[in-house]
Structure 1
Amino acid sequence: MKLENNEIKDTVLDLQPLTYIMERNGFVLAGQWDYERVTYDLKVNSPEKNITYYIRVSGYAVEGDVDSGKAVIKLLTPLLGKHHYPHGVEYGEEEGFPQNIIDKADRVLSNVDNQLKQFIEEEAN
């Protein structure tokens, strides 16, 4: 499910401060990168048995290589996914996401969005 109640999409930022902000908000980069793309995931536990949700923020390098640690990343629209054991995470609208999970995702992404804007503003001054 696309999470569009934020202005994260099209944000452009250096990889290192981006990763710092994302990790500060609980997101994990782990090994989910290649030379051109990054993917940050935040696990959201659910009271539902055997159900886990993930907030995903992805981006791609507009300059440099991700593996070098010196890339400029442009972010895409964040996603909300539902993990189906053992098949993986599905991000489609038809997954039927509970409103409390959507609300939590919106709060987390609003916080990330504010921190990204603050960093960009400070860098500009």
Structure 2
Amino acid sequence: MKFEGTGIEGLTADLLRLDEIMEELGLVRAGQWDYERVTYDRKFEAKGEVFYLRVQGFAVEGDVGRRDAVIKLLTPLLGKYYYPHGVEYGEDENFPSQIINTSQSLLVQVKEELSKLQ
């Protein structure tokens, strides 16, 4: 599921500050990066199922590995995890309303914090 129109897509931020903002909101980058891309995930569990709110971005300047990148964010996604295949983001997936609402609230907070940097 795509969260279109959040105002996040296209925003840019310094990687170190972006890491801080995302971590404060429970979105973890951990090992989800390469030298040009980053992925922040927030895990949700409901009724024995696992879901991930995912915010991805790519470096428009610098290098993620050197921690000097400026990251441009993409459209946030909500996916459902299927063992052992991975996360599916299709529109046909059934997402609990509480997870959708919590995800939307988190994305509003991300946008507010990033707007302070612009």
TM-score band, normalised by shorter chain: over 0.9
2:86 to 88, 109, 113: 88
Distance 1:45 1:108 in 2: 16
Structure 2 CA distance, aligned partners of 1:103 and 1:3? 11
- Matching residue of 2:39: 39
Residue of structure 1 aligned with 2:107, choices 106, 109, 112: 109
Q: Give the ranges of 4+ consecutive aligned residues of structure 1 lying more than 2 Å apart after TM superposition.
A: none
Amino acid at match of 1:79: L
Report what 1:16 is aligned to. 16
Any unmatched runs of 5+ in structure 2?
none
Conserved 8 A contact 1:40-1:56: yes
Q: How many residues align?
A: 118
Pairwise mapping of residues 26-105 of structure 1 onto structure 2 (< 5 A)? Answer: 26-46=26-46, 48-49=47-48, 51-105=49-103
More helix by share: 1
Q: What is the rounded CA distance, in whole Å, between the counterparts of 2:42 and 2:25 in structure 1? A: 8
Q: What secondary structure sits across from 1:55 in the alignment?
A: strand
Distance in 2 between the 1:65 and 1:19 partners? 14
Q: TM-score, normalised by structure 2?
A: 0.95
The answer as to whether partners of 1:6 and 1:110 remain within 8 angstroms in 2 is yes
Aligned counterparts of 2:6 and 2:110: Cα–Cα separation in 1: 9
Provide the alpha-carbon RMSD of the alignment: 1.0
Question: What's the CA shift for 1:98?
Answer: 2.1
Gaps of 5+ in 1: none
- Determine which structure has more spread, i.e. the larger CA radius of gyration: 1
